[in-house]
Amino acid sequence: MALDKAPFDGHGNMKTWVRGRYRHESQDEYDAHTVWRDNVPFEATMELTGFGRGMSSARFHWQDHEGHRYEMFMKEMGDLILATTLERGVVHGKWIICKRGQNYGLKFVE
């Protein structure tokens, strides 16, 4: 099933988790600043800035040329490595946001 909307904060960074689904009236400070954007493929140059573990998974951290931050699931990182070439941690292409369980992540399209 395609993801219609994706959560971002007020600064344009992708949010990895939001309480409830497409909640417009929030119950806490974290969710109050969620901006739901149409989830359409976008073109960007991403730089791998690190990795870490969340509550439920390992994540890779990316940043676009405007400084916006995104996180990627391990499976999507494996798909990216098989689909294209990273040059010194930098990849240019089309991206979209995907969802696994209650979490959101970046996905390489082409």
| Residue for token pair 């969620």 | 34
The pLDDT confidence band at residue 67, using thresholds 50, 70 and 90, is: very high
In this prediction the pTM is: 0.83
Strand partners, 77: none
* 5-14, 26-35, 38-47, 75-84: range with lowest mean pLDDT: 26-35
Domain residue limits, the chain: 33-108
Percent of the chain at pLDDT exceeding 70: 86
SS3 79: helix
Task: Tell me how far apart the alpha carbons of residues 89 and 46 are, in angstroms, rounded to a whole number.
Answer: 8
Which of the four pLDDT bands, split at 50, 70 and 90, describes residue 60? very high
